[in-house]
Amino acid sequence: MQGIELNSFATWPGRGLYALTDGPREDLLEVVSRALVGGARLLQYRDPTMDAARRHAEATALRQLCHERGVPLIIDDDIALARAVGADGVHLGNVEKDIGAARSELGSHAIIGAACCNSLQLARVAARAGASYLSFGAFFPSPTKPLAPRASIDLLRHSAALGLPRVAIGGITPDNGAPLIDAGADFLAAVSAVFGASDVHTAAQRFAGMFSPDRESTR
């Protein structure tokens, strides 16, 4: 199958909520729409199942939904799917191996995220390889990945010198995320705190409000 040309956003989406989907669910498009209306600035399609046809269909639908809202769609750890559906980028777990391949496949405008876990050295490798953003975590116990190594908040401060947007992930909620923003996180990534909430729209709004100009003026 020939891939769709990737879209390039003229402007990086600033700072804010990075919402990650939580695997197969019948109401996927509905809850993603609520998160986008609530203020999510990036969306990652995260589905580790092997149902290729469903994943392709869902990613295609999410691409249209995200672009209607002007929000980039990132695909989790699947370069081929990102290219096939014309997503705006990919989030990679194997930083050293895959960033070059992703850049070659998806082009210079693609958003390529790097999962750096709790390692500043891995972040340096990712930055040199051409990553678009660096993701650190888990900062708190994560219901999505309970065995994920814990990251120090100092990673956000020390990685500022690399000059790339920084994403904080892992057990983050509107109640515990403020120190991460103060330490330099450009995005707070959330799975269950958004898509596991009884009111997805309100949950996204609460995250988005943490990056409001009023709050920034008090820092």
List per-residue pLDDT tens for the chain, 219 residues long.
Answer: 233 444 445 457 789 999 999 989 999 999 999 999 999 999 999 999 999 999 999 999 999 999 999 999 999 999 999 999 999 999 999 877 789 999 999 999 999 999 999 999 999 999 999 999 999 999 999 888 888 889 999 999 999 999 999 999 999 999 999 999 999 999 999 999 999 999 999 999 999 999 977 654 333
What is the distance between the alpha carbons of residues 15 and 219, in angstroms, rounded to a whole number? 15
Q: What CATH number does the domain located at 16-216 have?
A: 3.20.20.70
CA 49 to chain centre: 19
- What phi and psi values does residue 15 have, to the nearest 5 degrees? -140, 160
Q: What is the dihedral of CA 13, 182, 133, 20, to 10 degrees?
A: -70
